Structure 1
């Protein structure tokens, strides 16, 4: 019985580590990337450098926490734009068809990029979803968390760091 409890505890810890991103911290300098969005347009992170900060949001369709955060992020999008922050959501490891069908129900205001092979997520050290990274104008990661901050103005003020 004790062995069973230990095994279950181990699996619970591993699952929470994956979902909540416990482990290795993301890189401190943003890595440039090029991804296609759901409209087949090419998006480069470097095109925002020296212009405006970018909030990257890594997510999947199967993650219930991601679904909740997509709603939160969608409701905060206009305030973030007013604060000078662009939002790029990055779906990790799923097909374009699956993502397109999923987002039809969400009416997302921001761009959805497709990281089909999870290469960009790996470059940033993303171990779990959902994950937010705020990249300032200089290309430094100044915020990292699994959930949108309670006070979005704190997030906007971090862009100056």
Structure 2
């Protein structure tokens, strides 16, 4: 008698959440709207100046930023509910040139269910969230947006 067993891997379609749209200003009062960047991969970095882990991650972002821009990424650092002068001073004193957006009332952080900082959110070209965590997935970020 011949018996065989076939294992079928259950494949589930990955349902991706559409990134909530927002409009935020930078310190120069320029308004940036997420939906206007559809067609480009976008990295959101939620942070605060008082967070030691955020400060460490800013150093990492500074190192990878040139590569991200070369690859067509848009990077927005989003400070949550801090005075504008404090955030500007931090960015300037650390030589950071990223787009800095101010989430003065915390509504964008709330829309993205940010429970702590730092929080990274990767958004693919279709405007879907493909990653959200407290670290940057430097080994897999290209694969994540290609899916």
State whether TM-score is above 0.5: yes
Shift of 1:157: 2.3
Greater helix proportion: 1
Which structure has the larger Rg? Answer: 2
Map of 2:74 onto structure 1? 86
Could you say what secondary structure the match of 2:17 adopts?
coil
Aligned partners of 2:26 and 2:99 also within 8 Å: yes
Could you say what secondary structure the match of 1:43 adopts?
strand
Divergent runs of 4+, >4 A: none
**TM score, norm. by length of structure 2:** 0.85
Shift of 1:121: 0.1
Which consecutive residues of structure 2, in runs of 5 or more, have no partner in the other structure? Answer: 1-15
Aligned pairs, number: 132
**TM score, norm. by length of structure 1:** 0.78
Shift of 1:87: 0.6
**1:111-151 Cα deviation digits (max 9, x unpaired):** 00000111000011101000000011111100112012242
Which consecutive residues of structure 1, in runs of 5 or more, have no partner in the other structure? Answer: 1-26
Question: What is the distance in 2 between the residues matched to 1:47 and 1:108?
Answer: 24
RMSD of aligned C-alpha atoms?
A: 1.3
Map of 2:10 onto structure 1? none
